[in-house]
Amino acid sequence: MPSETENILELEKQYVLQTYARAPFVLDHGQGCWLYDTEGRAYLDCAAGIAVNALGHADPELVTALTEQAGKLWHVSNLFHTAPHARLAKQLCDTSFADRVFFANSGAEANEGAFKFARKWAREHFGEAKTAIVAFTGAFHGRTFAALAATPREKYQAPFRPLLPGVRIAPFNDLAGTAAVMGDDVCAVIIEPVQGEGGIHPATPEFLAGLRQLCDRHHALLIFDEIQCGMGRTGHLWAHQGYGITPDILTAAKPLAGGLPMGAILMTQRVADVMHVGEHGSTFAAGPLVAAVAERVVRRIADPAFLADVRAKGDYLMERLEEINSPHITEVRGCGLMIGVDLDVAAADVIAAGHRHGLILINAGTNTLRLVPPLIISRGEIDLLVERLRGVLAEL
Ligand SMILES: *Cc1c(COP(=O)(O)O)cnc(C)c1O
């Protein structure tokens, strides 16, 4: 007789659209940085649900916030006021450059909104012709049509053309190359200060500073997609705060509500000024349930002591990784707890072996491991991660 685990794997294979190559086990519950499958095996979580579960699994404060709110009010739509929504918006503005927030339900949706606001802003101030958007090689902004147009990867784009017109791709970290595609018809430049999916590539400080100048010269808005690198991941609440360069719009999502779906578009007042009642919306966004949890997530992560700890643990993880000294590691880079490990073998092989060693790992491109553990990971757990990874690499 097939086991319950085999039954679940079989159901997925038969009934779920096969757009993911899922790991061959079924996760059942989690606690802190640990995940447990239906066979009782424990895994150290080095992925955090793709940089989402910043406070780990089953955090007691988040569980309490969620269950208390669940017994009170779940959903009323954005036609009505609710307290968590308004308080969360204030928190995000108080901890950033922003004057206003619009909430969404995912990262892609936040970027779609950011593009719409940028086009509206440009149209209002400069007329009909200023609609182009500049994005970068190696970028990932999401799977919806506009976000996809700004995500230059053949495998993602080719089957779905035509994409949103008017998106230009410039070379990442190459200011002269970017200046060459800039023009007065550009309404916005969108960039991840640290590219995630593209392989954990930080923008250089000179590049971000140069983009700020280019945007100002051409009256374009600078959008930072901090969906992956924001919310404490780099050891700064917002990655750009580590660079000292300020955008006009910032998009956030992944860790914002600790694992519940939520996105946000943060903006300055001059952007907010062009958006009026009825011009954008969302049925679900920032409902009381997700917003009540997000309030706790933002409060915890914005604590300077928490952020200093992320920076220190990021440095520690980087040091320990460099000590591994495996011939299979060709480069280690990143900032805070967002680290890419380049390999001379397929990341997929290391990920599969990692499962047998009790590690949940993910990749960012074919040859790069992406280490984005919960931000609450302890030094002892970092040691274990490194020991197990060393064991995996030694086996190859
Ligand atoms: C994950 C991601 C997105 C898309 O977010 P979804 O919630 O999957 O739509 C956009 N930008 C960046 C940088 C991301 O990492």
pLDDT digits (tens, 9 = 90+) for 162-176: 999 999 999 999 999
Please state the separation of Cα 145 from the chain's center in Å: 18
What is the average pLDDT score of the chain? 98
Closest Cα to atom 15, ligand 1: which residue? 228
Which protein residue's CA is at the shortest distance from atom 6 of ligand 1? Answer: 107
Q: What is the pLDDT of residues 310-326, one digit of tens each?
A: 999 999 999 999 999 99
Which ligand 1 atom sits nearest the alpha carbon of residue 50?
Answer: 1
Q: Please state the rounded mean pLDDT for residues 146-153.
A: 98
Per-residue pLDDT band at 2 (split at 50, 70, 90): confident
Residues with CB under 6 Å of ligand 1 are 106-108, 111, 140-142, 192, 196-197, 225, 227-228, 253-254
Q: Is 126 exposed, middle or buried (0-12, 13-18, 19+ CB in 10 A)?
A: middle
253 CA: nearest ligand 1 atom = 7
Query: Using one digit for the tens of pLDDT, what is the confidence trace for 26-37?
Result: 999 999 999 999
pLDDT at 120 over 80: yes
Residue 263 CA: nearest ligand 1 atom is 7
Q: What is the mean pLDDT of residues 226-238?
A: 98
C-alpha 326 – ligand 1 centre gap (Å):
31
DSSP, collapsed to helix, strand or coil, labels residue 126 as helix
CA of 179 to the centre of ligand 1 (A): 26
Taking CA atoms only, the protein residue closest to ligand 1 atom 10 is 141
352 touches 26 (CB < 8 A): no
Taking the CA of residue 107 as reference, the ligand 1 atom at the shortest distance is 5
CB atoms within 10 A of CB 309: 17
What amino acid is encoded at 213 in this protein?
Answer: Q
Q: What is the pLDDT of residue 150?
A: 98
> Does residue 301 have a pLDDT over 80?
yes
Per residue in 323-374, pLDDT (tens digit) is 999 999 999 999 999 999 999 999 999 999 999 999 999 999 999 999 999 9
Nearest Cα residue to 190 out of 241, 149, 236: 149
- Residue 204 per-residue DSSP state: P
Q: Tokens for 231? A: 């919310």
Percent of the chain exceeding pLDDT 90 equals 99
DSSP string, 206-239: HHHHHHHHHHHHTT-EEEEE-TTTTTTTTSSSSG
pLDDT for 291 equals 98
Contact 46, 388 (CB under 8 A): no
Question: Mutual orientation of helices 288-301 and 304-324 as an angle, nearest 10°?
Answer: 70
E strand or H helix that includes residue 352: helix 347-356
Reported confidence tier of residue 1, pLDDT bands at 50, 70, 90: confident
Residue 224 has pLDDT above 80, yes or no: yes
pLDDT for residue 51 is more than 90: yes
Report which ligand 1 atom has the smallest distance to the Cα of 195. Answer: 13
Residue nearest to atom 11 of ligand 1 (CA): 141
Q: What is the pLDDT of residues 259-293, one digit of tens each?
A: 999 999 999 999 999 999 999 999 999 999 999 99
| Residue recorded with tokens 């018809």 | 185
